[in-house]
Every structure is written in structure tokens, then in C-alpha cells.
Amino acid sequence: MRIPANSLVSGWGGFIAMVAAGLVLMFSLPQLLDLFGIVQMTVFVAMAMFALSQGFLWGYGGIMSFGQAAFFGIGGYAYAVSVINLGESTTPVLIAILAPMIFAALLGYFMFYGRISDAYVGVITLTVSVILFELVNSTSGNEYHIGSAQLGGFNGMPGVPPLNFPGDASSPLEPEQTWYAAMGSLILVYVLLRGILASRFGRVVVAIRENETRAMLLGYDPRLYKLLTFIIAAGIAGLGGCLFTNWGGFISPTVFGLTMSAQVIIYVLVGGLGTLLGPILGAVLIQYLMIQAGSQNVVDPNLGLGVVLVAFVLLVPQGIVPMLRDKLLPVRKPAPQNAPAGKAVEAGR
């Protein structure tokens, strides 16, 4: 997949506008929507978080994970298991972020320090998600429990306690407050990622995506940067999984499924590679369309997803956001062609 070239942070103006728009949405939606709408939007945010994870990893790190659902699922299960055991939700949220990061550190070390090629990274991540699916799917017996949490196999884990006010397990968040928590953390992660991308670390990550050999010859260890990118993305996916579990109070092995990994790739591809806004919008758009498609019983939604994926790979490989940006924003006037540095150098002699 070609990744749009001018993908580095494009100025403070855009950043502030984005955060402002996010905050406006966060505080205005509860006024505009009914309760059902707010709950719906909360799951959109969970999926947008998941999309940010894939978008950062793929669009900036150039790492193609075909099994990002593994981390989403680990996050969701980690939250469910620990909140059932602990009662209070603050630590479980941290566990939901940290557990996928630890898992990603192990898997990533194995892959990147083994210098496994890009396509194989896709294969291995996909296989790992299949392994997790099969493992968790087979834990339906009563003997499979972690502490007091029954894993429930293919039936999943119902009745997962919702988020509560930090430190007070007896006051769970209302749906509207859950919305604030979810949207607030999405904005926070967005800000965090923008910060990472503007830092030296982020620039080197993008440079490695552009030309790994060159980065290495300049003294950067691509393995380390890829590993760290992979770990960060896993943490974000885990937080997404945590929000997702919270939304329904329920989690089942389908979160590890191939459809889940495919969906998040579609979000990113549709929204736009090499942007952070793209994956978020892609997630919301596709989720919305899926719900619309789900309300009819004629065509299976997978058919639509498949068609969208093929169409975007073939026709709009850059995704919607970069396409609109190129179309709507006036292209910066390039310096005159054929005024090479060499000539300039010559003139200076």
C-alpha cells in the first residue's frame, strides 16, 4: 500500500482545530442526541480508538498487522477479568492498556529482532490472533476461570461491571458520563500521538518507514523503533477493547476474530493512511454504514465490507481524508522544477 508522502505533522493550526472540534463534539452530542444515540456514539469511539491504533502502526510505522484484533481483544478481556476480580475499575483500565503492551513487547521482540519481512509480520500477527481466538473460544468449562472471573469460552463473559468514578466502585458511570470518558480518552490519545509524531522519536519512525536502510546507516536501530511503535499501538488497541467491553458490559471471543482485524484495516484504508483523523472518520463512517446495513436482512454485511475493501484498494488507495485534503486545500506552490540544488550551488561559487 502506498502511503501518502506528506504525512508528517502538518502544523499547529490543524492540530488545535482538531482538538477543539473534538471537545465541541464531546460536550455538544449529549445535548443533541438521546440516550440511545449517546450509547451508540460511545461504541463508535471505541472502534475509532482501535482504528487509531492500526492507523498509527500502519500509516506511520509502515508495519502491517493483520491481527490487531489480538490486542483489542486482550485489552477487552484484561479489563473484564480484572474488574470482575477487583471491583473497582481504575486499575483494570490500566491493566487493559498494559497487558496488550506486554504481549506486544514479547511478540514484537520475536518478530522485529528476528528481522522478519513485512509480509511475514502480517502473517504472524494474523496467526497469533487466530491462536488467541481458538484458545479463548475453548474456555467454556467451569474450570476455566481467572480468580472469580469465568472466561465462558464461545459464550463470552456477560455482566462485566462498567467504569466507575476513580476509587469508588459503588458509583458506576452513567451512559452520558461513559461517553465523556470515552471521547475524552480518544482526544487524549490523539494529542499523545500528535506529540509522538512531532518528537524526534516519531520522525525517526516515519523515516524508517520511508527507508529502513538509510535510517540504519545513520545510526538508528530500526528494530527498536518498530518494536516501540508496535507496543504503543497495542496499548491504544487495548484501551479501545476496554471501552468496547465497557459499552456492552460483555465480551466474547469474536473480538479476536479475523473480521475484527479486517474491519479495522478497512477503517484505516477508507479514512486514509498516514493521517490520524482518517482512521477515526473511517471507523465512524463504516460503523454507521454497518448499522444501516444491519437493519436490512437481505444482504449479509460482510459482503458490503468486502466490496468496500476491494474498491478502496483498487480505486482510492490513499483513502478519503488525504484525497479530500489534496482536492480541497490549495497545493503549496512547488519551487520551480529543474532548479536543482546543484545549480544553486554552482551559482554560489
Query: How far from the centroid of its chain's Cα atoms is residue 63's Cα?
Result: 13
Q: Which of 33, 145, 149, 203 binds another protein (CB under 8 A)?
A: 203
Please list, in sequence order, all residues whose beta carbon lies within 8 angstroms of the beta carbon of residue 305, skipping any fewer than 6 positions away: 259, 262, 263, 266, 286, 290
Least distance in Å: CB of 131 to another protein?
A: 5
Q: Which is nearer to another protein, 161 or 271 (CB)?
A: 271
Q: Which of 144, 165, 220, 250 binds another protein (CB under 8 A)?
A: 220
Q: How many C-beta atoms lie closer than 10 Å to residue 334's C-beta? A: 6
Q: Does 313 bind another protein (CB under 8 A)?
A: yes
Q: Total residues at the site for another protein (CB under 8 A)?
A: 83
Q: Does 299 bind another protein (CB under 8 A)?
A: yes
Strand (E) or helix (H) holding 262: helix 258-271
Least distance in Å: CB of 264 to another protein?
A: 12
Dihedral sign for Cα atoms in the order 272, 62, 202, 193: positive
Dihedral sign for Cα atoms in the order 340, 342, 345, 346: negative
Q: Which stretch binds another protein (CB under 8 A): 39-47, 110-118, 181-189, 279-287?
A: 110-118
Least distance in Å: CB of 233 to another protein?
A: 17
Q: Which stretch binds another protein (CB under 8 A): 2-10, 12-20, 31-39, 90-98?
A: 2-10
- Give CA–CA dist 159/154, Å, rounded: 15
Q: Which is nearer to another protein, 42 or 139 (CB)?
A: 139
Least distance in Å: CB of 170 to another protein?
A: 39
Q: Are 79 and 160 in contact (CB under 8 A)?
A: yes
Least distance in Å: CB of 349 to another protein?
A: 6
Beta bridge partners of 164: 172
Angle, vertex CA 244, rays to CA 35 and CA 206, nearest 5? 120
- Give CA–CA dist 246/159, Å, rounded: 10
Q: Which stretch binds another protein (CB under 8 A): 31-39, 43-51, 205-213, 241-249?
A: 205-213
Least distance in Å: CB of 334 to another protein?
A: 7
Least distance in Å: CB of 340 to another protein?
A: 4
Q: Does 66 bind another protein (CB under 8 A)?
A: yes
Q: Which three cell numbers stand for residue 318?
A: 490513499
- Give CA–CA dist 279/267, Å, rounded: 6
Q: Which of 6, 28, 148, 171 binds another protein (CB under 8 A)?
A: 6
Q: Are 99 and 80 in contact (CB under 8 A)?
A: no
Q: Which of 23, 306, 324, 326 binds another protein (CB under 8 A)?
A: 306
Please list, in sequence order, all residues whose beta carbon lies within 8 angstroms of the beta carbon of residue 113, skipping any fewer than 6 positions away: 223, 227
Least distance in Å: CB of 50 to another protein?
A: 17
- Give CA–CA dist 36/176, Å, rounded: 10
Q: Does 262 bind another protein (CB under 8 A)?
A: yes
Q: Does 23 bind another protein (CB under 8 A)?
A: no
Chain positions 139 to 198 lying near another protein, rule: CB under 8 A, are: none
